[in-house]
Amino acid sequence: MSATAARIDELKAEGRAALIGYLPTGFPTVEQSIETARTLIESGADILELGIPYSDPVMDGPTIQDAVNIALDNGARVKDVFTVIEAVAGLGAPVLVMTYFNPVLRYGVDAFARDLAAAGGSGLITPDLIPEEAGEWIAAADARDLDKVFLVAPSSTPQRLALTAAASRGFVYAASTMGVTGERATVGSRAEQLVAATRAAGAERVCVGLGVSRPEQAAEVGRYADGVIVGSAFVKPLLGDAPFAQRLAAMSDVARGLADGVRSARTGAGRA
């Protein structure tokens, strides 16, 4: 079984969902992104997503776009994600890479899978790649025991849900709403229905992302999903001109609050 699936199942046996945290690699710098990733795990993230900075991030909202631009300006490259993974892979949280597929194609699909596995990564989340067009990646991932996380959305047909569930390994990523990433006042109203439909289509684990930024939202999603995916709410405190230690502490506070929200979802109480 994949490390990601095993971690989700372990937490499910404890009566709660997983908190899955996203951070861009190389933001603000590669070394600082290692420190940020460690802090996020120590502050309650159960699974880590590391984004690869990309110059055309069509799914990302302004917060993550700002962070990605800083990372690119500071010289972040695709290979840096493996450096960060190696630094945090032993901390107890499976590490997935989330990326548009063009950087993987340019790196070389088989070479990327090889280096991802060698660094200790668990797999890949590909928001702009559908299973029908993922044959080369699926073969490379299967050869190296890596997770393949594909996305579904409220617009997905029953046939699309079944196809995605069958192709995915680790979990299926359910986008709670149509649109880009970012903090929202409410989580998409169709998210719970999408999770139920994706499970009915054959998915063993379904995690929800897009829009979760507050503990009460994390608790809401944690009641029905196997994982609560958060990105912009972790990245936002890291932006700005305050000393990096202060920004890191602010992100840690957000993470602890969201972790409490996830833990309270099915028990009615947060962390002691």
pLDDT in tens, 23-41: 999 999 999 999 999 999 9
Q: Is the pLDDT of residue 190 over 90?
A: no
Residue from 9, 31, 60, 183 carrying the catalytic annotation: 60
Round the average pLDDT of the chain to a whole number and report it: 92
Q: Is the pLDDT of residue 98 over 70?
A: yes
Confidence bin at 271 (pLDDT 50/70/90): very low
Higher-pLDDT residue of 54, 137: 137
- What is the per-residue pLDDT across 161-174, written as a single tens digit (0 to 9) for each? 999 999 999 999 99
- Check if 220 is active-site: no
Q: Quote the pTM value.
A: 0.92
Q: Is the pLDDT of residue 60 over 80?
A: no
Contact assessment for residue 137 and residue 126, using Cβ atoms and an 8 Å cutoff: yes
Q: What is the mean pLDDT of residues 146-170?
A: 97
Q: Assign 3-class secondary structure to the chain.
A: CCHHHHHHHHHHHCCCCEEEEEEECCCCCHHHHHHHHHHHHHCCCCEEEEECCCCCCCCCCHHHHHHHHHHHHCCCCCCHHHHHHHHHHHHCCCEEEECCHHHHHHHCHHHHHHHHHHHCCCEEECCCCCHHHCHHHHHHHHHCCCEEECEECCCCCHHHHHHHHHHCECCEEEECCCCCCCCCCCCCCCHHHHHHHHHHCCCCCEEEECCCCCHHHHHHHHCCCCEEEECHHHHHHHCCCCCHHHHHHHHHHHHHHHHHHHHHCCCCCCCC
CATH number of 3-264: 3.20.20.70
Confidence bin at 178 (pLDDT 50/70/90): very low
- What is the per-residue pLDDT across 214-264, written as a single tens digit (0 to 9) for each? 999 999 999 999 999 999 999 999 999 999 999 999 999 999 999 999 999
Q: What is the pLDDT of residue 177?
A: 60
Tokens at residue 3, please?
């490390």
Q: What is the identity of the amino acid at 160?
A: R
Q: Is the pLDDT of residue 270 over 80?
A: no
Higher-pLDDT residue of 187, 204: 204
Q: Classify burial at 106, counting beta carbons within 10 Å of its beta carbon; exposed 0-12, middle 13-18, buried 19 or more.
A: exposed
- Check if 136 is active-site: no
Residue from 10, 31, 46, 49 carrying the catalytic annotation: 49
Q: What is the identity of the amino acid at 195?
A: V
Q: What is the pLDDT of residue 46?
A: 98
